[in-house]
């Protein structure tokens, strides 16, 4: 009997697919090429069935039972995109080599004393290197005498004048190197010895006069509980703020906010009273009206300590009480405190 072309094609298709259905009906194990998602217990997936990308294994795609999509041996579905198997994955396509990042840290050459104060006479330079250094007192209407090179932007006078002081004191001393040259970290640690301030006297009538009977850090402007000084720092911060309590022999407790800022060449240490200064309950100086800014820089000859102090005293008090010598002695105490703090760093 001769079959038509259409009937012959259907018969051939039935013969082709019938073994697959007969195997499933008889409980034979599924063909692994079609059921790649089922692993045989106790066996590992053969290496040729794994593709590694960024250290993740991409599982074999599941067969489409409806036959609507291409068989799994023709496609691999990855992140919603079809990648033909005929085109092998190029590992280099998923990696790139970034150019190395190079950070250049600028090197700053140590400056000289003359570069910062170029217009000093020989006598001024000698006095600056003496133990007491240079000192100059003046009022807000008078010019300063110790002016650094304006190109270096060390403008302590401009910063102090923002507080509108009535009286000012400028001071300069150069602490020479002995055992070693100091760096900014040495200076920062010297400024951290708050508990030692009380140990430094001022010279009065040829005798040592201890102005501060107690000195300590406090928690904050609101919490005035005394706290100990921390151990010396091993790294230099960009900035720092600390709060101090200095018990003064005449004015009682002085509460000070000390702000430290670090620049490329030096450290600026600014102290301001955040409460009123009183003398026997009489307000002598309002809060934020006393300001001492100390600039410290290691130069070739030693450590430069340059300070500007401004304070406001009402006219009726200034006419009766001369506070300039008293504040001058306190500046001397701070200078000696810093100098000894630097010497202590030489032994560390």
Q: What's the CA gap between 35 and 67, in Å, rounded? A: 14
Percent pLDDT > 70 in the chain is: 69
0.75 exceeded by the pTM? no
Residues 6+ apart with CB under 8 A from 323: 167, 284, 311, 313
- More confident: 212 or 86: 212
pLDDT for 274: 94
pLDDT for 290: 92
pLDDT tens-digit map of 262-292: 999 999 999 999 999 887 777 778 899 999 9
Report which of 338, 307, 325 is spatially closest to residue 144, judged by C-alpha positions: 307
pLDDT for 292: 96
Burial of 188 (0-12, 13-18, 19+ CB in 10 A): buried
Q: Between 3.30.300.130, 3.40.1160.10, 3.30.530.20, 1.10.10.10, what CATH number should domain 113-346 receive?
A: 3.30.530.20
Confidence of residue 90 (pLDDT cuts 50, 70, 90): low
Tell me: pLDDT of 107 over 90: no
pLDDT tens-digit map of 212-247: 999 999 999 999 999 999 999 999 999 999 999 999
Please answer whether residues 202 and 334 qualify as being in contact, where contact means their C-beta atoms are separated by less than 8 angstroms. Answer: no
pLDDT tens-digit map of 30-49: 444 333 344 334 444 344 43
Lowest mean pLDDT among 93-107, 126-140, 165-179, 269-283: 93-107
Could you write out the DSSP letters of every residue in 124-175? Answer: HHHHHTSSS-EEEEEETTS--S----GGGT--HHHHHHTT--SEEEEEEEEE
**Domain-by-domain residue ranges, the chain?**
46-102, 113-346
Report which of 143, 142, 244 is spatially closest to residue 192, judged by C-alpha positions: 244
pLDDT for 17: 47
């Amino acid at each position: 009997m001769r079959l038509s072309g259409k009937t012959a094609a259907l018969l051939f298709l039935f013969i082709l697919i019938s073994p697959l259905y007969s195997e499933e009906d008889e409980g034979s194990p599924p063909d692994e090429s079609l059921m790649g998602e089922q692993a045989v217990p106790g066996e590992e997936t053969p290496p040729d069935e794994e593709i590694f990308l960024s250290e993740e294994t991409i599982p074999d795609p599941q067969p489409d039972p409806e036959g609507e999509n291409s068989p799994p041996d023709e496609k691999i579905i990855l992140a919603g995109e079809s990648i033909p198997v005929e085109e092998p994955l190029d590992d280099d396509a998923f990696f790139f080599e970034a150019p190395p990042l190079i950070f250049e840290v600028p090197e700053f050459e140590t400056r000289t004393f003359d570069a910062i104060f170029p217009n000093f006479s020989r006598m001024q330079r000698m006095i600056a290197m003496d133990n007491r250094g240079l000192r100059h007192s003046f009022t807000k209407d008078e010019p300063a005498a110790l002016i650094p090179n304006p190109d270096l932007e060390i403008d302590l006078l401009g910063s102090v004048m923002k507080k509108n002081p009535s009286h000012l004191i400028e001071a300069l001393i150069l602490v020479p190197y002995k055992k070693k040259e100091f760096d900014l970290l040495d200076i920062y640690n010297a400024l951290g010895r708050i508990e030692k301030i009380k140990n430094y006297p001022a010279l009065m009538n040829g005798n040592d006069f201890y102005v501060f009977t107690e000195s300590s850090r406090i928690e904050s402007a609101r919490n005035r509980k005394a706290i100990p000084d921390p151990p010396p720092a091993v790294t230099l911060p960009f900035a720092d703020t600390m709060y101090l309590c200095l018990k003064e022999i005449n004015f009682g407790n002085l509460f000070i906010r000390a702000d430290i800022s670090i620049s490329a060449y030096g450290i600026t240490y600014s102290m301001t009273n955040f409460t009123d200064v009183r003398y026997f309950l009489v307000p002598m100086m309002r809060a934020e009206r006393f300001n001492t800014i100390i600039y410290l820089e290691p130069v070739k000859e030693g450590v430069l300590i340059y300070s500007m102090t401004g304070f406001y005293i009402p006219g009726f008090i200034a006419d009766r009480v001369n506070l300039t010598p008293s504040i001058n002695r306190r500046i001397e105490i701070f200078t000696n405190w810093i100098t000894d703090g630097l010497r202590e760093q030489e032994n560390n």
